[in-house]
Chains A and B, each alone.
Chain A
Amino acid sequence: MAGDLQLWERIRSGDPEAFGDLYERHARAVQSYCLWRSADLQAAEDATATVFLEAWRKRGRLTLSSDSAAPLLLGIANNVVRRQWRSERRHRDALERVRNAGQIPNDPEAEAIARLDAMQQLREGGEAIRRLPRREREVLALLAWSDLSYAEIAEALGLPIGTVRSRLARARTRLGNAFPDPARPAEEAL
């Protein structure tokens, strides 16, 4: 399977199918992040579609610095969530169409209940983080809800890596160390 770098080259030359591959590869990660940020399913679905349409629109200006498009897409996601509902008019139709593609589940009740549980957990799990100041929240959210490294978070947010570290440190102090990071022991010593 082609890497993201190769895919991105094809996307830059205007290949819609390569764009489709990129979508299939990263849509769930982007939607997870948007869900976490907005705690709203419809908003997250709309944001996800917007992220990809933005990536397509700006493809000429954007470059990948590694073989993963995740930092780029999550960086866009971060901005999209921040200004959700202000999507451009010309995106509306496409957005509408993407939103409507996808079936009503076969077993609406069982699935609805599973989704409700997940939403509930999502809301509760993120409660403390959502009350952080925005800059700290964004850094912490990317750390908690994507598999990005610190360097990739820095790339996604367009920040120096030192700033990412200091914001994380502040966020953790504020949360009373409620969010240690067992997954990244090497980075614990900030």
Chain B
Amino acid sequence: MNEPKPDLSPLLPDNATLKERRAALVESVSPGGPDPQAASAWRRRGPRLALGAVLGLAVVAVALIVSAGGDNAPAAFAVEPQEGGGVRIEVYSLEDAPGLERALAQAGIRSQVTWLPAGMLCREPHYSPSIVHLPGGGSLGGFEMGGPGDALTISVGSTRRWRERFGEHMRGEISDREYYRSIANFNLDPEAFRPDQSVVISGSPVPYGGDPEGGSAAKVGVAEGPVEPCVPVSAPARSIGSIGLPQSAGGGTEGAPGGDEAPPQTPTVAESSDVPAEAPPAPGQFLYTKTKVVQLQGWLPNGPGTGSKSNPRHFTAHVPGNYPNAPAALVPTVKEVWTDPDGKTRVRETLGQVDFFSGTDQKRWENAGSPPPFEYDPKDHDVRRNGSGRLVKEFASRSWRGPRVFSNVSKLSQLPTAPEALRLAIEHPRGGSSPVDPSPANSHRGGVTAERLMEILSEPITSAALRAAALNALAEIPGIGLKRGVADVAGRRGDAITWIRERGFGHELIFDPRTSKVLAQAEMIFGEPAASEYGVAPGTVFRESAFLRSGVVDSMRETAAEAGGGPVATASTDRRK
């Protein structure tokens, strides 16, 4: 070859990944079924902290942190029957673990409860994680709780009753006081548990109110099959103190800041110092985002063109929709946008290799002088080639929201960060009533809800807790799917929310399950009839945006990496156009 071979190493598995894949491969060919060792290696990172984990939890008051002794807590827990059936257990401390296990068993829930010394965790995995599917949609899996607050409360009873109660409160039919007195942090529905499923709860003291063991925090999971005894191991530094977010945002949305760093009585995640900066840029600063967009475009060389008369654009993004027969090409663009607090933007688009599906079309296009697929008006756009010969188009613009570009930030920070609460809040922003269970995505109401949740996820500045809640609320809507191990156009792997809409078209939203950060959004053809109509394979993406980098910078020439000495420091907020 006359050109050096590209270095493919970033695209090849690293040693650790290779080992894991080896284990999975060996397992799949081993006689006598999966080898438990090998299985746990991949399962560990699988469902446990994943999306769907806290669905059905409607926790408003956040936390389990209790003073372990105290005048009003002579017993470790109290059980009382609840209105509408079942029981409500108020847990002041997990110290009487066997007693709590018995109480839960009496109410119909098998459990393992462990009380650990400060700074200890159960060695994982000690059970196979599982998810309880709830009647009416939604599910319950693992989550962590911590932060100042009242006792942990668990109710055992029907999901329907639980949700009705929640709805009554949202609609203002019952008072806050009555609600908090009657409802628990989470509900366990014995009807929803399979016979092999059980609840695993572990907790340990954490610093609170100046006392190094003044409070406690807990981890709740659902197991299937046998649960091994908890083997206490030292927790990594601060892991108890900062549970919930952002590490487990995909699974535990209820976490409030806990531990030694959080000021006591801090009620919401939004105020946590553990969560990266989520504020809009100050005057004189800019929000920088870098997005890779790959879009299917059609070339219409004989059409009138659009845009400026002197330089008409002969490409259209309306493929396959309006122009199923236009020669189609994948057009990759890296789009960088600097947005100032007034909504003014500078945009830099670097065009990648235009890649036609057919070699003949590619030749025709090249013979026509490789006309760029973007709109070009010399008055407004500055187009040149960069050092690598790529076409770069720069222009000044305005955010479509204008000066209100970041005005949503404070509103968003007021939204509840429990999935069900978030859904109800956006379904009736001014009160009003609605069904308690989520409506299916293909119904009008469900569709509107899904749209709004996706809008939240596409906001430029949101908290990890809100994103996690939005993802979880989305996943709870019947008709919304979840795929694991999906790669985005930048090769990053995550899980994906899928929403198949009319005629086989749909969206895919790929996110990192550990941070709830949206990695990419894709519009695609999932199946029939669109796939046949346009002659493409099911799963064909026609537009994908991968959010590569973002952060607040001090100049319109600066990128986030330059500003903060590394992507981790500056790209923590997130992405987006």
A and B together in one complex: yes
A45, A112, A120: which has the most chain B beta carbons within 10 Å? A112
Given contacts A20-B22, A28-B13, A109-B549, contact A123 B353 (CB under 8 A): yes
Chain A 97-117 per-residue mask, 1 if CB under 8 angstroms from chain B, else 0: 111111111011111111111
Q: How many whole Å from A54's CB to the nearest CB in chain B?
A: 11
A121 interface contact, C-beta 8 A: yes
Q: What total count of A-B pairs have CB within 8 Å?
A: 165
Looking at chain A, what size class is its interface with the partner chain?
A: 35 or more
B568 interface contact, C-beta 8 A: yes
Chain B at the A interface: mostly helix, strand, loop or mixed?
Answer: mixed
Q: Which of A64-72, A74-82, A154-162, A174-182 contacts B (4 or more CB under 8 A)?
A: A174-182
The residue on A at minimum CB distance from B362 is: A131
A132 to B9, CA, bound (A): 26
Chain B 518-551 per-residue mask, 1 if CB under 8 angstroms from chain A, else 0: 0100000000000000000100000000101100
Whether B18 pairs with A112 at a CB distance below 8 angstroms is no
* Chain B residues within 8 Å of A125, by CB: 1, 3, 5-6
* Chain A residues within 8 Å of B8, by CB: 32, 35-36, 118, 122
Whether B17 pairs with A109 at a CB distance below 8 angstroms is no
* Chain A residues within 8 Å of B567, by CB: 107, 109-110
Chain A 5-31 per-residue mask, 1 if CB under 8 angstroms from chain B, else 0: 000000000101101100110011001
* Chain B residues within 8 Å of A93, by CB: 28
- A35, A85, A105, A180: the one contacting B492 at CB < 8 Å is A105
- B12, B353, B486, B571: the one contacting A120 at CB < 8 Å is B353
The residue on A at minimum CB distance from B3 is: A125
B435 interface contact, C-beta 8 A: no
Whether A131 pairs with B359 at a CB distance below 8 angstroms is yes
A97 to B6, CA, bound (A): 29
- B28, B45, B355, B362: the one contacting A53 at CB < 8 Å is B28
The residue on B at minimum CB distance from A113 is: B548
Whether B487 pairs with A102 at a CB distance below 8 angstroms is no
B6, B26, B512: which has the most chain A beta carbons within 10 Å? B6
- B26, B41, B537: the one contacting A16 at CB < 8 Å is B26
Whether B24 pairs with A98 at a CB distance below 8 angstroms is yes
Chain B 560-573 per-residue mask, 1 if CB under 8 angstroms from chain A, else 0: 00000001100100
* Chain A residues within 8 Å of B16, by CB: 102-103
B287-335 contacts to A (CB < 8 Å): 292, 332
A179 to B9, CA, bound (A): 23
* Chain B residues within 8 Å of A85, by CB: 537
B167 interface contact, C-beta 8 A: no
Whether A94 pairs with B25 at a CB distance below 8 angstroms is yes
- A19, A105, A131, A178: the one contacting B29 at CB < 8 Å is A19
Given contacts A101-B21, A104-B494, A112-B546, contact A179 B11 (CB under 8 A): no
A122 to B4, CA, bound (A): 11
* Chain A residues within 8 Å of B13, by CB: 27-28, 31, 45, 102
Chain B 18-36 per-residue mask, 1 if CB under 8 angstroms from chain A, else 0: 1111111111111100000
A187 interface contact, C-beta 8 A: no
A180 to B2, CA, bound (A): 6
The residue on A at minimum CB distance from B41 is: A101
B189-207 contacts to A (CB < 8 Å): none
B108 interface contact, C-beta 8 A: no
Chain A at the B interface: mostly helix, strand, loop or mixed?
Answer: helix
B320-362 contacts to A (CB < 8 Å): 332, 352-353, 355, 359, 362
* Chain A residues within 8 Å of B11, by CB: 31, 35, 41, 44, 115, 118-119, 122
A83-101 contacts to B (CB < 8 Å): 85, 93-94, 96-101
- A41, A96, A121: the one contacting B487 at CB < 8 Å is A41
B46 interface contact, C-beta 8 A: yes
Given contacts A102-B13, A102-B21, A107-B567, contact A53 B492 (CB under 8 A): no
A169 interface contact, C-beta 8 A: no
Whether B491 pairs with A53 at a CB distance below 8 angstroms is no
B364-382 contacts to A (CB < 8 Å): none
A144 interface contact, C-beta 8 A: yes
Whether A120 pairs with B42 at a CB distance below 8 angstroms is no
A150 interface contact, C-beta 8 A: no
A171 interface contact, C-beta 8 A: no
Given contacts A42-B487, A100-B485, A105-B492, contact A28 B1 (CB under 8 A): no
B7 interface contact, C-beta 8 A: yes
Q: How many whole Å from B128's CB to the nearest CB in chain A?
A: 15
Whether A115 pairs with B28 at a CB distance below 8 angstroms is no
* Chain A residues within 8 Å of B7, by CB: 118, 121
Whether B12 pairs with A31 at a CB distance below 8 angstroms is yes
Q: How many whole Å from B29's CB to the nearest CB in chain A?
A: 5
A85 to B22, CA, bound (A): 22
B102 interface contact, C-beta 8 A: no
A178 to B2, CA, bound (A): 7
B452 interface contact, C-beta 8 A: no
The residue on A at minimum CB distance from B550 is: A109
Q: Which residues of A contact B (CB under 8 A)?
A: 14, 16-17, 19-20, 23-24, 27-28, 31-32, 35-36, 41-42, 44-45, 49, 52-53, 56, 85, 93-94, 96-105, 107-125, 127, 131, 144-145, 178-181
User: What would 11 A/B residue contacts be, using CB atoms closer than 8 Å?
Assistant: A16-B30, A20-B23, A27-B22, A41-B491, A94-B29, A97-B27, A97-B42, A104-B492, A104-B494, A105-B492, A127-B353
State the 5 A-B residue pairs at the shortest beta-carbon distance, nearest first.
A121-B6, A102-B17, A94-B28, A100-B485, A112-B490
